[in-house]
């Protein structure tokens, strides 16, 4: 595998709206991001991915872009952005923008022009399709519920939107559209960003016939993702983008890909793949299941661990994936993946250990480093997220009680991760002097950066130590490129693996006990050192290993051994 500059880095996703507000309007802004760069640097972050900061009506929180060349006024100005870029460079950091080009906003001038002239040039930037006997062209269900079709006023045409109706899909078949997008991508790369996180990119190709699929829900529709099972020729689109843009700048690209065909991994992220890397969502899709949130699954620790292990083994040797615990679309990882008895600081540190030391590029999501949790809401009206509202309705439609529907939202809502960053215990959590756009998680008085910075045994301090370990020149080669080799798989609640370097022969062993009971693991071969312990038991465990040749792990205990 070709080595890349970003392989040994640590990335961090910023959800700008909820990161840091500097003007009291309750919305995070670019000046806020700039003000926290030193914090991120100290944590050990190298690469920052900014969720969309473009001009947008915010129907889907900025994933509906009305001008790709402007910074949303809520976030600041282009001067602020240039300053942010300059300040990151000063600190040796890199910026990834979010690239949302499967669709734009219905407020984009292209779409306005298309509606004004439904048979004209700009209609060709979208999918304007004739209805069937006055009805929609097919039965696809959008990602956010309901038909993917919306009437084009004054015509018998419908336009396609795989996401919200305010997010019309762009027509990638049209060379003019592609040219516009490529120009825009290159314009940002010229500015000096390191690359992009690429949104929903698997959706860009559409079948020319828009054939219906067999219905799969009480609404008589069929999930639009199911069409991807048969999709051919996507790679040509991705290669075309790459050739005209990313490749020219050696840009880093992180694709958001769901529903990829398994045998295409090498095409996507192998040497010379379509993208530099893509997120590994295997643990997340495992929890979600195929249907709505009300039917999300609660797999065992073993099933969850085995899923991650299988994914590691599939990916290594092919490419380099990006590992996450959570992001702005997923609930908080500590609330989702940790069993009840492990929902504490030790458990959070354990989850960090078994995630950050996997093979791949760690992407932290803001607040993960202090162990932020899901947020309880009492009423559906307290949610802002479009997908949560839809999932709530879907649950009711499927016959769930209101309580059950709310429960599904509390566990799965995208707003769980979107509550403002908890900087301190003061009013507004140090995020804002005003009223936050989305209510704070009330636990900010206990879980916040300021409190954790004061404590050497906090989750935050542990994240710093873990990242420092990953970057330590003595172990970096192994923790970056070392093979992932699972161990103790027969023990259902032990999450243990080696990272073994073929370069230098180093074997680093990571072991964690997700179970309730203490476990003793017989170790083969001498172990020289405890590199990290989530319970501050470096000495104790080392002494024990020397004496007995065994490693004891209490519930929620994690260690890293050389
Ligand atoms: C991606 C984004 C998500 C958004 C969707 C539509 O999945 O991560 O937040 O709603 O695409 O752009
Ligand atoms: Ca603001």
Q: What is the pTM of this model?
A: 0.98
The packing angle between helices 234-244 and 175-191, to 10°, is 40
Lowest mean pLDDT among 19-28, 208-217, 478-487: 208-217
pLDDT of 534 over the 90 cut: yes
Question: Within its chain, how far is the Cα of 154 from the centroid?
Answer: 40
Q: pLDDT confidence of 526, banded at 50, 70, 90?
A: confident
The reported pLDDT for the residue numbered 436 is 98
Cβ of 64 less than 6 Å from ligand 1? no
Residue with tokens 């269900």: 141
Residue 550: enclosing H or E segment and its boundaries? strand 550-553
pLDDT of 3 over the 70 cut: yes
305-310 long-range CB contacts below 8 Å, 24 or more apart? 305/495, 305/514, 306/489, 307/282, 307/283, 308/282, 308/283, 308/358, 309/484, 309/486, 309/489, 309/497, 310/282
Residue with tokens 């809502």: 413
Could you report the per-residue pLDDT of 392-432, keeping only the tens digit for each?
999 999 999 999 999 999 999 999 999 999 999 999 999 99
Q: How many CB atoms lie within 10 A of CB 379?
A: 8
Q: Exposed, middle or buried by CB within 10 Å (0-12, 13-18, 19+), for 553? A: buried
| CA–CA distance, 64 with 500 (Å, rounded to integer) | 44
| CA–CA distance, 537 with 518 (Å, rounded to integer) | 15
Active-site residue, 199 included: yes
The reported pLDDT for the residue numbered 215 is 96
CB 510 within 8 A of CB 499: yes
The reported pLDDT for the residue numbered 289 is 66
Could you report the per-residue pLDDT of 271-325, keeping only the tens digit for each?
999 999 999 999 999 998 677 899 998 999 999 999 999 999 999 999 999 999 9
The reported pLDDT for the residue numbered 80 is 98
CB 46 within 8 A of CB 468: no
pLDDT mean over 33-44: 98
| CA–CA distance, 545 with 526 (Å, rounded to integer) | 9
Ligand 1, pocket-test mutation among 15, 199, 255, most atoms within 8 A of CB = 199
Could you report the per-residue pLDDT of 183-228, keeping only the tens digit for each?
999 999 999 999 999 999 999 999 989 999 999 988 899 999 999 9
The reported pLDDT for the residue numbered 288 is 85
pLDDT of 473 over the 90 cut: yes
| CA–CA distance, 534 with 63 (Å, rounded to integer) | 37
The reported pLDDT for the residue numbered 276 is 98
521 phi and psi angles, rounded to 5 deg: -110, 120
DSSP reduced 3-state for 408: helix
Q: How many CB atoms lie within 10 A of CB 113?
A: 14
Q: What percent of the chain has pLDDT over 70?
A: 100
pLDDT of 16 over the 90 cut: yes
Cβ of 60 less than 6 Å from ligand 1? yes
Cβ of 330 less than 6 Å from ligand 1? no
The reported pLDDT for the residue numbered 360 is 98
The upper half-sphere exposure of residue 262, i.e. CA atoms within 13 Å in the direction of its Cβ, equals: 4
Q: How many CB atoms lie within 10 A of CB 185?
A: 24
| Ligand 1 atom closest to 103 (CA) | 12
Task: Tell me what the pLDDT averaged over the chain comes to.
Answer: 97
| CA–CA distance, 38 with 13 (Å, rounded to integer) | 15
60, 169, 256, 345: which one is catalytic? 256
pLDDT of 387 over the 80 cut: yes
Could you report the per-residue pLDDT of 133-165, keeping only the tens digit for each?
989 999 999 999 999 999 999 999 999 999 999
């Amino acid at each position: 595998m070709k080595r890349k500059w970003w392989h040994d880095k640590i990335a961090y996703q910023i959800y700008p709206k909820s990161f840091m507000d500097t003007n009291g309007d309750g919305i995070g802004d670019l000046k806020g991001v700039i003000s926290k760069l030193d914090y991120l640097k100290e944590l050990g972050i190298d690469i920052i991915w900014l969720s969309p900061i473009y001009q947008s009506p915010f129907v889907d929180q900025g994933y509906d872009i009305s001008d790709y060349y402007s910074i949303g006024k809520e976030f600041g100005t282009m001067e602020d952005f240039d300053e942010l870029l300059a300040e990151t460079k000063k600190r040796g950091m890199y910026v990834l923008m979010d690239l949302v080009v499967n669709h734009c906003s219905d407020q984009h001038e292209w779409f306005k022009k298309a509606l004004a002239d439904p048979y004209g040039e700009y209609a060709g930037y979208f999918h304007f399709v004739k209805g069937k006997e006055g009805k929609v062209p097919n039965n696809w269900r959008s990602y956010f519920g309901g038909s993917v079709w919306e009437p084009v006023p004054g015509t018998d045409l419908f336009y396609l939107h795989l996401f919200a109706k305010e997010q019309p899909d762009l027509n990638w078949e049209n060379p003019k559209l592609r040219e516009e997008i490529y120009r825009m991508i290159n314009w940002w790369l010229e500015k000096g960003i390191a690359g992009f996180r690429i949104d929903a990119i698997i959706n860009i190709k559409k079948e020319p016939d828009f054939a219906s699929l067999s219905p799969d829900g009480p609404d008589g529709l069929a999930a639009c993702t199911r069409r991807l099972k048969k999709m051919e020729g996507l790679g040509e689109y991705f290669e075309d983008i790459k050739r005209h843009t990313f490749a020219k700048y050696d840009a880093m690209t992180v694709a958001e890909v769901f529903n990829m065909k398994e045998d295409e991994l090498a095409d996507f992220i192998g040497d010379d793949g379509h993208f530099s890397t893509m997120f590994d969502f295997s643990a997340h899709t495992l929890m979600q299941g195929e249907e709505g949130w009300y039917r999300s699954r609660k797999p065992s620790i073993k099933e969850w661990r085995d899923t991650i292990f299988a994914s590691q083994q599939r990916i290594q040797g092919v490419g380099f994936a990006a590992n996450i615990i959570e992001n702005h679309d997923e609930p908080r990882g500590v609330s989702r993946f940790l069993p009840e008895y492990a929902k504490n600081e030790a458990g959070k540190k354990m989850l960090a250990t078994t995630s950050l030391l996997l093979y791949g590029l760690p992407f932290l999501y803001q607040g993960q480093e202090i162990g932020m949790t899901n947020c309880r809401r009492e009423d559906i009206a307290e949610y802002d997220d479009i997908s949560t509202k839809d999932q709530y309705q879907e649950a009711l439609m499927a016959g769930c009680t209101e309580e059950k529907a709310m429960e599904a939202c509390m566990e799965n809502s995208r707003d769980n991760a979107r509550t403002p960053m908890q900087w301190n215990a003061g009013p507004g959590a140090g995020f804002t002097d005003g009223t936050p756009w989305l209510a704070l998680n009330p636990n900010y008085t206990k879980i916040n950066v300021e409190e954790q910075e004061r404590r050497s045994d906090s989750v935050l301090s542990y994240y710093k130590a873990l990242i420092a370990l990953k970057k330590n020149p003595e172990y970096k080669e192994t923790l970056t490129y070392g093979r992932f080799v699972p161990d103790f798989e027969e023990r259902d609640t032990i999450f243990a693996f080696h990272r073994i370097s073929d370069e230098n022969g180093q074997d680093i062993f990571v072991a964690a006990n997700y179970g309730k009971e203490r476990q003793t693991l017989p170790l083969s071969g001498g172990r020289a050192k405890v590199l990290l312990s989530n319970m501050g038991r470096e000495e104790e465990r080392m002494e024990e290993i020397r004496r007995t040749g065994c490693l004891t792990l209490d519930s929620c205990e994690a260690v890293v051994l050389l």
